[in-house]
Chains A and B, each alone.
Chain A
Amino acid sequence: MHDMSAHAQAGHHAPTSFIRKYVFSLDHKVIGKQYYGLAFLAACVGMVLSWVMRLHLGWTNLAIPGLHFLSSTGAPGDVMTPEYYLQLMTMHGTIMVFFVLTTAPFAAFGNFFLPIQVGAEDMPFPRFNMMSFWVTFVAFCVLVASFFAGDGPSLAGWTQYAPLSAVGSVAGPGQGLGEVLWASSIAIFCVGQLLGSLNFITTTLNMRTRGMSLWRLPLSSWAWFITSIMGLTAFAVLMPACILLILDHVAGTSFFVPSNLVINDQLQPHSGGSTLLWQHLFWFFGHPEVYIAIVPAMGIVSHILMPNLRRPLLSHRVLVYSMGAIAVLSYMVYGHHMFVSGMNPISSIAFSFPTLVITIPATIIVLIWLGSLYGSKLRINSASLFSLGMISMFITGGISGFFLAQPSLDIMLHATYFVVGHFHFVMAVSAMFGIFAGTYFWFPKMYGRMMNETLGKIHFILTFIGAYCIFMPFHYLGLAANVRRYQAFTDDYLQPLIPVHKFITVAALLTGAAQLVFVYNLIHSRFWGEKAPDNPWQATSLEWATTSPPPFDNFGGQLPVVYHDAYQYGIEGATDDYVMQNSPEQIEAVRDEA
């Protein structure tokens, strides 16, 4: 190891006041934990919303005790109105996509570990970093405030299609103030993510320590870097779109509202706006957003698999190129969300082709994982199990994507539960599994204590089985033409499907309850867990070269010097079977691509 002589830590003083240390902290590690906490809170809210919706779908007009406290008009006598179902659905989608799937794998883990993995003492713009979190927090508060303001939150779905989203309260409850709060919240959220992306990109480009070439970056760092580029371009488009939407609401402009629109027998005072324009702007953000959620999970899972496989993946470079290809292609495929929008059919074909092409890099990534797993002696622990789970969910969700990529099939399936099953698997659950894997893997580094492995494995088994029980039947429902976004299924042909809905609801409640095991494990381990060693997984990257938890400046006054690729596992002749990135030990290169 390099010499650890006593160099002054004069450059970077740790703050002493409570506010600077825990609230408005400039330390990327504290900000990462704050993001994790926010995502955790948001996930709880989003999950409870899904339970309430599922109960309503399984047992229409079921009184859910206490629901009227949330909204007396939306749930009179604890039974939700059809409109209130849509409002809860909108909030579930928005909270989960923006405040869980974007913040946890990208902003939370990325903030904590990107600077450490590149060998820096912090991000280059700590003040922007702090603002990034607090702006995101304000966005969350604004969104949640819409539950309690006016006639509740927006009911236009997380995609907020115009003209429903743009005409105001005439379109239904929540479309007045609730809608403005939604659009404001997301515009604010964009600011936070742009500030975060700025830090992530400059950290990767400018803050790498000596010897840390780009190809020596761990795959998780690569994933965060690629994601931050996607975030920068996608959120920069969503923000002006939200501002135009707000103007249609409050200033009477007609960006998205067409002429002669009659709603509830009232002619709308707008003219000539383009409803498709909103969809173009939204999905230009929205599709990259899918990959903003899943690419960090891909990087995290790849990063976790290797110390457990005790050998490198088949190819580090091809995996990075594939993630890059996904990022580039993600801007060319967004129209596949609009096959049923009335868009020119030629456009549909033009969007269908890259949609099928983007499955190639995704498939390559999956094959790299599977090929690396083949014949290996995988160490079974909670982190590796959840990594396998993520791969499983991603494959399952990806396969239904092949069908949906074709306009002729998508026109049939688009408005059904088939799509709900598809995106929950490929983006939501697989990203959640990535978050869980990252939590079990990095918790010892973040808090200096080990998590309970037995509870972790129980949590995995219950969640894995539960996720399939919830989301697999969605595909069946969709093929049976069960329409989505409906609050009740009253048509005759849907009656035989009601038991499936009941099954899904029970599975969702049980799987949700199983998360209590995780919550208990998290809290118990945080305070009473076994003390974590510096490198509990015998891993090679730089976060394991410092103490658990890392000191304020990450490396105790001395930046590490990097000598090796990120994943030198299974090295014959080395002192151990692995060589850390900052170890000057000379080794025979195995699968060295740098």
Chain B
Amino acid sequence: MATTVHEPPRIQEPRRPGGSVPAGNGGMRNLVPANGNLRAVQEYAPAPADAGIWVVLAAISMSFAALTSALVVRKGGAADWRHLTLPSILYLNTILLIASSVTMEISRRRVASFMGNREGHSGSASRWLYATLLLGLAFVAGQYVAWGQLRAQGVFLATNPSSSFFYVITAAHALHVLGGLGGLLRVIRKFTNRSLRRSTLIATSRYWHFMDVLWIYLLLLLWAKL
């Protein structure tokens, strides 16, 4: 019960976008200047997208965890389960998606260093972004081909629980990749008209890498369980 005066935390130096200090989740509480000017807040506060993207990824993880457990429960003790051989084009698609993650990382670094006025020019950064976009599109197209191959073999959504899960899980993942492609288009547009924020770029690249890791997990799951 000592006498205490509640001083607000000391104001840290504002972190400027593009600076060398990585944007964290410090929040506005440290960043409102003493006079409380809102404009300054908007300019300097680390963007909520930094934290928000983890929230999004957590929700997506929960959804796929639910599908995983559904698969495991449905397979356990089911007499009607027939093994499904994965179409081999999936492995090519996997390579495409991993490659797109690599190009995403290169473009993220190029764009970041361009925004930080350190080196590089916008053209090379844009090219890597477009390369990522193309590889992502190629992945989705490849998944579509895989579904076509299964259909040609007479394996449809309702043919067997294994095929049901195959279509549901790959379609859910492909939809999320399409969402990521939308985000990527937005990044390209904003980068072209010089309104891209660092947090948007980081959030998009985290999402993209997550799609990559998620796909590898799903591929292993489908390979081991179907």
Task: Determine if B70 and A244 form an interchain contact, defined as CB atoms under 8 angstroms apart.
Answer: yes
Task: Determine if B29 and A208 form an interchain contact, defined as CB atoms under 8 angstroms apart.
Answer: yes
Task: Determine if A2 and B36 form an interchain contact, defined as CB atoms under 8 angstroms apart.
Answer: yes
Q: Chain B interface residue count: which class? A: 35 or more
Task: Determine if A271 and B38 form an interchain contact, defined as CB atoms under 8 angstroms apart.
Answer: no
Task: Determine if B3 and A237 form an interchain contact, defined as CB atoms under 8 angstroms apart.
Answer: no
**Roughly how many angstroms separate A561 CA and B6 CA in the complex, as a whole number?**
11
Q: Kindly list chain A residues whose C-beta atoms are within 8 Å of the C-beta of B123.
A: none
Per-residue B-contact encoding for A470-506, CB less than 8 Å = 1, 0 else:
0000000000000000000000000000000000000
Q: In the complex, which residue of chain B has the Cβ closest to the Cβ of A237?
A: B66
Stretch at the interface among A68-76, A147-155, A530-538, A552-560: A552-560
Does B168 interact with chain A (Cβ within 8 Å)?
yes
**Roughly how many angstroms separate A276 CA and B1 CA in the complex, as a whole number?**
55
Q: In the complex, which residue of chain A has the Cβ closest to the Cβ of B43?
A: A11
B185 to chain A, nearest CB (A): 17
Most buried by B among A9, A197, A202, A557: A202
Find residues 29-60 in chain B having any chain A CB closer than 8 Å to their own CB: 29-32, 34-39, 41-42, 45-52, 55-56, 58-60
Task: Determine if A207 and B157 form an interchain contact, defined as CB atoms under 8 angstroms apart.
Answer: no
**Roughly how many angstroms separate A235 CA and B66 CA in the complex, as a whole number?**
11
Does A27 interact with chain B (Cβ within 8 Å)?
no
Task: Determine if B7 and A120 form an interchain contact, defined as CB atoms under 8 angstroms apart.
Answer: no
A190 to chain B, nearest CB (A): 9
Q: Kindly list chain B residues whose C-beta atoms are within 8 Å of the C-beta of A259.
A: 79-80
Task: Determine if A201 and B161 form an interchain contact, defined as CB atoms under 8 angstroms apart.
Answer: no
Contact of B1 among A203, A244, A563, A589 (CB under 8 A): A589
Q: In the complex, which residue of chain A has the Cβ closest to the Cβ of B3?
A: A588
Q: In the complex, which residue of chain B has the Cβ closest to the Cβ of A233?
A: B62
Contact of B8 among A10, A210, A565, A592 (CB under 8 A): A210
**Roughly how many angstroms separate A124 CA and B158 CA in the complex, as a whole number?**
42
**A233-B62, A280-B69, A561-B32 known; A251+B157 contact, CB < 8 A:** yes
Contact of A273 among B2, B67, B161, B168 (CB under 8 A): B161
Does A320 interact with chain B (Cβ within 8 Å)?
no
**Roughly how many angstroms separate A208 CA and B60 CA in the complex, as a whole number?**
26
Does B22 interact with chain A (Cβ within 8 Å)?
no
Task: Determine if B27 and A206 form an interchain contact, defined as CB atoms under 8 angstroms apart.
Answer: yes
Does A443 interact with chain B (Cβ within 8 Å)?
no
**Roughly how many angstroms separate A205 CA and B67 CA in the complex, as a whole number?**
29
Task: Determine if A206 and B164 form an interchain contact, defined as CB atoms under 8 angstroms apart.
Answer: no
**Roughly how many angstroms separate A590 CA and B4 CA in the complex, as a whole number?**
10
Contact of B35 among A5, A244, A562 (CB under 8 A): A5
**Roughly how many angstroms separate A140 CA and B67 CA in the complex, as a whole number?**
26
Task: Determine if A202 and B8 form an interchain contact, defined as CB atoms under 8 angstroms apart.
Answer: no
Task: Determine if A198 and B55 form an interchain contact, defined as CB atoms under 8 angstroms apart.
Answer: yes
Task: Determine if A11 and B39 form an interchain contact, defined as CB atoms under 8 angstroms apart.
Answer: yes
**Roughly how many angstroms separate A479 CA and B36 CA in the complex, as a whole number?**
61
Contact of A206 among B9, B28, B81, B161 (CB under 8 A): B28
Task: Determine if B51 and A211 form an interchain contact, defined as CB atoms under 8 angstroms apart.
Answer: no
Per-residue A-contact encoding for B200-224, CB less than 8 Å = 1, 0 else:
0000000000000000000000000
Most buried by A among B60, B63, B172: B63
Q: In the complex, which residue of chain A has the Cβ closest to the Cβ of B80?
A: A272
Q: In the complex, which residue of chain B has the Cβ closest to the Cβ of A271?
A: B80
A226 to chain B, nearest CB (A): 14
Does A77 interact with chain B (Cβ within 8 Å)?
no
Contact of A7 among B36, B81, B157, B172 (CB under 8 A): B36
Does A61 interact with chain B (Cβ within 8 Å)?
no
Q: Kindly list chain B residues whose C-beta atoms are within 8 Å of the C-beta of A120.
A: 28
Q: In the complex, which residue of chain A has the Cβ closest to the Cβ of B70?
A: A277
Find residues 564-594 in chain A having any chain B CB closer than 8 Å to their own CB: 564-565, 586, 588-590, 592, 594
Task: Determine if A272 and B62 form an interchain contact, defined as CB atoms under 8 angstroms apart.
Answer: no
A29 to chain B, nearest CB (A): 17
Q: In the complex, which residue of chain A has the Cβ closest to the Cβ of B26?
A: A206
B200 to chain A, nearest CB (A): 12
Does A281 interact with chain B (Cβ within 8 Å)?
yes
Find residues 241-300 in chain A having any chain B CB closer than 8 Å to their own CB: 241, 243-244, 247, 251-255, 259, 271-274, 276-277, 280-281, 284
Q: Kindly list chain A residues whose C-beta atoms are within 8 Å of the C-beta of B39.
A: 8, 10-11
Contact of A560 among B30, B36, B55 (CB under 8 A): B36
Does A372 interact with chain B (Cβ within 8 Å)?
no
**A232-B58, A233-B62 known; A273+B28 contact, CB < 8 A:** no
B181 to chain A, nearest CB (A): 19
Find residues 181-225 in chain A having any chain B CB closer than 8 Å to their own CB: 194, 197-198, 201-203, 205-213
Task: Determine if B80 and A197 form an interchain contact, defined as CB atoms under 8 angstroms apart.
Answer: no
**Roughly how many angstroms separate A120 CA and B2 CA in the complex, as a whole number?**
31
Task: Determine if A209 and B55 form an interchain contact, defined as CB atoms under 8 angstroms apart.
Answer: no
**A2-B36, A236-B62 known; A207+B27 contact, CB < 8 A:** yes
Task: Determine if B60 and A272 form an interchain contact, defined as CB atoms under 8 angstroms apart.
Answer: no
Task: Determine if B8 and A562 form an interchain contact, defined as CB atoms under 8 angstroms apart.
Answer: yes
Does B21 interact with chain A (Cβ within 8 Å)?
no
A125 to chain B, nearest CB (A): 7
Task: Determine if B66 and A284 form an interchain contact, defined as CB atoms under 8 angstroms apart.
Answer: yes
B82 to chain A, nearest CB (A): 10
Q: In the complex, which residue of chain A has the Cβ closest to the Cβ of B76?
A: A274
A288 to chain B, nearest CB (A): 11
**A198-B52, A201-B55, A209-B32 known; A255+B4 contact, CB < 8 A:** no
Task: Determine if A210 and B30 form an interchain contact, defined as CB atoms under 8 angstroms apart.
Answer: yes
**A236-B59, A558-B38 known; A273+B74 contact, CB < 8 A:** yes
Task: Determine if A272 and B161 form an interchain contact, defined as CB atoms under 8 angstroms apart.
Answer: yes
Q: In the complex, which residue of chain B has the Cβ closest to the Cβ of A10?
A: B39
Find residues 104-135 in chain B having any chain A CB closer than 8 Å to their own CB: none
Some 16 contacts from A to B, beta carbons below 8 A apart, are A7-B37, A8-B39, A120-B28, A121-B38, A202-B51, A205-B25, A205-B51, A210-B8, A210-B29, A237-B63, A237-B66, A252-B158, A254-B164, A255-B74, A274-B73, A281-B69
5 cross-chain pairs, A with B, having the tightest CB-CB distances, nearest first: A211-B8, A124-B48, A272-B80, A236-B62, A252-B158
B residues whose Cβ falls under 8 Å from a Cβ of A: 1-9, 11, 25, 27-32, 34-39, 41-42, 45-52, 55-56, 58-60, 62-63, 65-67, 69-70, 73-74, 78-81, 157-158, 161, 164, 168, 172
Known: A206-B25, A210-B8; 10 extra A-B contacts, CB below 8 A, are A2-B36, A10-B39, A198-B56, A207-B48, A211-B8, A251-B158, A254-B158, A277-B74, A281-B70, A558-B38
